[in-house]
Structure 1
């Protein structure tokens, strides 16, 4: 995993941020605190958060889903971009990590927009489906355990509306997906997932080399 875009030298990456990034102070503070965390590599890149914010605004999304919260940077990026009646349903299993998230969501004044569900994500997604919330979400972001990517994706595909957008993180996996000598379980899971999506005619697909690789899957009517 990486928290900056692949294949950019430090000088070019710094230039990209200098002329593109418009990071609210609250997001910067959260990113700086997370950088001191032992699991800081799980933080998304700031340019990715800004890209997600732009997509949410372009779609005029009001109801979004997140699988994998960590310290809350991506959820906060999305919540700040949503209108006042917008909502993020955020799934995670860690009270410890999300305690940091909750603190910054409160400081940002978006707590009412974020419905944090502490439980295995599959349980939460199945509950949403059981409640009749299929095809009611505009946008979903998946950034959790890689072995369950396919499961999360299938649930998300049922939950987003036609024309809704699913984003999946870490699909380039620091380049390991392209190295045939790397055969560990997580790398193989991402390879299989990438192959599956390439053939999935239910979505319009684009993989972009931002941060650690981000797949955009637009649900077809």
Structure 2
């Protein structure tokens, strides 16, 4: 899936991020995961492989074309369609329709310019003890550079600040991939 994403001009999650997602998923025995940004299925496959046999992945992507290869990869890997829901649509519109407190993990890897909105929705979706995981938290080392005023860096900074300012999370920034913020909902 990582190779196919690269060929399609998308940036897949790194092998380090894949391994970290699997460890975190198993560590909390996650059974319900929301993924924002299907990106052809590499991260989704990581979650499915690490979840218990009754675990369900809900993956949201604005581009339905990204979900076709994901569906094929999940099926080829032996996962029945009852184990995943692929929702084509704007995550900002879809996330409010998902059930409150019903998810073990919310993984944010969608449109960087919407990270603040995704973080706001994640708090409502997560159960206590659930994990908010934000991919690309360092965004090409631009987020840590206070001189960088690019739109993505500014929005990701705001999203990270929202998590830091919230009394609802205990967090750590992991130097995996392009930065992975992991926050546990208290």
TM-score by length of 2: 0.94
* Higher Cα radius of gyration: 1
Instruction: Choose 90-99 or 191-200, whichever is displaced more.
Output: 191-200
The residue correspondences of 1:2-81 to structure 2 (distance < 5 A) are 30-39=1-10, 42-81=11-50
* 2:84 is equivalent to residue 118 of structure 1: no
Q: CA deviation at 1:105?
A: 0.9
Measured after TM superposition, the shift of residue 215 of structure 1 is: 0.4
Question: Which runs of 5 or more structure 2 residues have no equivalent in the other structure?
Answer: none
Corresponding residue SS for 2:132: strand
> Are residue 162 (structure 1) and residue 128 (structure 2) matched?
yes
Cα deviation per residue 1:116-163 (whole Å; 9 max; x = unaligned)? 1111112211111xxxx2111111100111221111111111111011
- State which drifts further: 159-168 or 173-182: 173-182
Question: What is the distance in 1 between the residues matched to 2:160 and 2:95?
Answer: 21
Q: Tell me the matched-pair count.
A: 185
Q: Which has the higher helix share?
A: 1
Q: 1:93 aligns with which of 62, 67, 88?
A: 62
Residue in 2 aligned with 1:207? 173
TM-score of the two chains, using structure 1 as the length reference = 0.80
Instruction: Provide the rounded CA distance (Å) in 1 between the counterparts of 2:74 and 2:55.
Output: 14
Structure 1 runs (4+) greater than 4 angstroms displaced:
none
How far did residue 103 of structure 1 move? 1.2
